[in-house]
A and B are shown apart, each in its own frame.
Chain A
Amino acid sequence: MLATAFAAVVLVVLHWEGYKWVGQQTGDRVPGTDIELLVDTDDLTMPHAKDILGEFVVDVRDGRSTLPMSLYLLKKAWFTLQEAAIGFFLGLVVGLALAVLMLRWRVVERGLLPWINVSQTVPLIALAPIIVTWGRLNDLPDLLSISLIAAYLTFFPVAVSALRGLQSPNAADVELMRSYAASWRTTLFKLRLPAARAYLFPAFKIAATLSVVGAIVGEISIGTKTGLGRAILEFAQRYAVFPERLYASVIGAAALGLSVFGLITLAERMFVGRTREAST
């Protein structure tokens, strides 16, 4: 597992440096042709991998003092993680509730499902100012508004997958429950929810990564004082002088996304056991 991860990083670095080397040799053209490469390979556009990785130990400013970049990003990531976690759980509750409602009444499913799909076509940048204005008018801290943006992204995969999962038991099992004169609620808890686990956890994984994306986008869109999104925004402004920093902060964001993905995978192992068995 670790070895594969390491190999993957090495592979990416080799591709990065290889592409950069080729571009430097040919003057940013596809070798043997006059076609320009899609991305320039100079140090401003593509800093050396060692410079980007080295940036993690360089001191950057944090308030009055300075911190190594890796600690700085960790600190920012902790804030973003809180927003993302609130957003994730809000999205989870809303998504599950919607799925149960849609399961209970077909008419709700027919009425609601198209709107749930439509909801994801609304661009976040249009939504963010509405949410933050609404939040401030209701005296919510901006942190919660950002969590709401994250929740807006996360409820969707949960709702859709949960509905499929809850509908997944085959007719014979449902008939059996009916022959026991089990109530709708008993069927839900004894049959449908256990069956839905195999559908839910993949959705949770998507939702968890989306919650990080939502939190970062939210931080960039609306005002917070800290967070990974703010770090990315500030370093983006300094791209001309410190391109490595922006890359480092983006790597930090990716690492946070991977971490929450890993957390959900762990939870899945605890609750579902081996996924394959559960889904058959």
Chain B
Amino acid sequence: MKARQFTRVACAVMALMLLAGACGSDERIAATGDCDTVDSVSLQLQWVTQAQFAGYFAAVDKEIYDKYCLDVAILEGGVDIVPQQQLASGAVDFAVSWVPKALVSREEGANIVNVAQIFQRSGTLQVSWADSGINGPADLAGKVVGNWGWGNEFELLAGAGSAGLDPSTDFELVQQSFDMLALLKGEIDASQAMIYNEYAQVLEAVNPDTGELYVASDLSVIDWNDVGTAMLQDAIWADGARLTEAGYQDLTKRFVAGSLEGWAYCRDNSSNCVDIVLANGSALGASHQAWQMNEINGLIWPSPNGVGMMDADLWAQTVAVATSQPILTAAPDAGAYTTGYVEAALASLNGRGMDTVGTSWQRVEVTLNEGGE
């Protein structure tokens, strides 16, 4: 009896010590909500409020950031807002950006550092009609291939290149807009689409032949993750110059931990997160956001090394594609990303018994309505 009690006490003490150890010198990463002061930080998103950013909105809405003594202002993107430029200029404290785009800015001299790699996979697809015969990059030969430009085309160009196609001669590369009109109207054979956004837009449109919505089997999809030219996307970037200051290191530690916790919340409560996104003023419909939330979860979970951890192989692949394409002139230096903040956050989250890998995460069934309503 006594022995058992002793074991219990010993366990409790050890757990406490582990927790304290994980917290390091700063106690506030323990997320106790016991705050002497609250720090205001701002996060710049790449685009308007949508489920792509649900984890951050949830961390605000569910008062997760509050536990870390943070008051987070989320700034929406716009067509002229380049998140990593906002970050580098000091206008915001943190930014969400795709890795290759941020690395270009870094190469141009912006001192920004990837402190958490949220998306573990690329969400970019090349979508065509099932009867077009386009089932892989090699089939793009002789086709009219749409892309958004502005640096969104490189997975496509690298993928076509890996199939031995030269984009200047073997197919016609055309710029498309951020809707799926060109594919729906048959102006292009294959259209660029994010799995969580534009791809769903096709499935929300009525097929004039059947009078019903298009279905997945109407479409043929090239997934750059499968082709091996995928590049890393949404990550949290911090200001490299300020990362030398203890105060900002502490902010970063807490912001990363809170954000990762927000994403874990959206994995386990996806319908709540859809609701939070809608409440934050999305004009996009509910079923579209539900689709997006599901697919975003699919880009994050499972995170084999823990949510937010950099997948070194995918980083290397991203850099390889970026340097083989005219994106980067040279591979970025080792300071371009750091895993220290995520490691500290994971230690804290794991210490509180949170699932940070998401092995058991399952896709939910989402029924899209017309127009994503």
Which residues of A does B touch, CB under 8 Å?
Answer: 40, 42, 44, 60-64, 125, 128-129, 132-133, 136-137, 142, 219-226, 230-231, 233-242
Contact = CB atoms under 8 A, between A and B. Distances in A.
B77 A223 contact: yes
Contacts of B181: 44, 239-240
- Closest 9 pairs between A and B when the two form their complex, measured CB to CB: A136-B91, A223-B76, A221-B80, A234-B283, A241-B371, A240-B179, A128-B80, A222-B78, A239-B179
A13 to B, nearest CB: 24
Contact of B284 (A40, A61, A136, A220): A61
Contact of A62 (B48, B77, B180, B283): B283
Residue of A142, A221, A226, A242 with most partner-chain B CB within 10 A: A242
A61 to B, nearest CB: 6
A132 B372 contact: no
B63 interface: no
B92 A226 contact: no
Given A129-B81, A230-B283, 13 more contacts: A44-B181, A60-B283, A63-B281, A125-B79, A225-B76, A234-B282, A234-B284, A237-B178, A237-B284, A238-B201, A240-B179, A241-B204, A241-B370
A125 B82 CA distance: 12
B249 interface: no
Nearest to A128: B80
A44 B184 contact: yes
14 contacts: A61-B283, A61-B286, A64-B279, A132-B80, A132-B86, A137-B89, A219-B78, A220-B78, A224-B78, A225-B49, A226-B281, A238-B284, A238-B371, A241-B205
A77 B285 CA distance: 21
Nearest to B80: A221
Nearest to A40: B185
A61 B371 contact: no
A64 B278 contact: yes
Contacts of A62: 281, 283
Contact of B78 (A221, A231, A241): A221
B372 A241 contact: yes
Contacts of A237: 178-179, 284
B41 to A, nearest CB: 13
Nearest to A136: B91
Given A42-B185, A240-B201, A222 B278 contact: no
Interface string B331-373: 0000000000000000000000000000000000000001111
Interface string B71-102: 00001111111100110011110000000000
Nearest to A60: B283
A84 B9 CA distance: 66
B31 to A, nearest CB: 27
Given A61-B282, A239-B181, A136 B86 contact: yes
B80 A129 contact: yes
A63 B178 contact: no
Q: For this complex, into which size category does the number of interface residues on chain B fall?
A: 35 or more
Contact of A132 (B91, B279, B284): B91
A225 B49 CA distance: 8
Contacts of A133: 85-86, 89, 91
A177 B99 CA distance: 69
B275 interface: yes
Nearest to B89: A133
Contacts of A234: 48, 282-284
A224 B91 contact: no
Contacts of B44: 223
B276 to A, nearest CB: 9
A199 to B, nearest CB: 34
Given A61-B285, A132-B81, A224-B76, A240 B278 contact: no
A253 to B, nearest CB: 15
Interface string B42-62: 101100110000000000000
B101 to A, nearest CB: 15
Contact of A241 (B79, B82, B90, B201): B201
Nearest to B205: A241
A236 B48 CA distance: 13
Contacts of B77: 223
B278 A63 contact: yes
Interface in B125-179: 177-179
A240 B205 contact: yes
A216 B348 CA distance: 44
B78 A61 contact: no
B73 to A, nearest CB: 10
Contacts of A235: 283
Contacts of B278: 61, 63-64
B194 to A, nearest CB: 11
Nearest to A223: B76
Nearest to B182: A240
A241 B214 CA distance: 12
Contacts of A230: 48, 283
Contact of B79 (A60, A64, A221): A221
Contacts of B91: 132-133, 136-137
Contact of B371 (A219, A220, A226, A242): A242
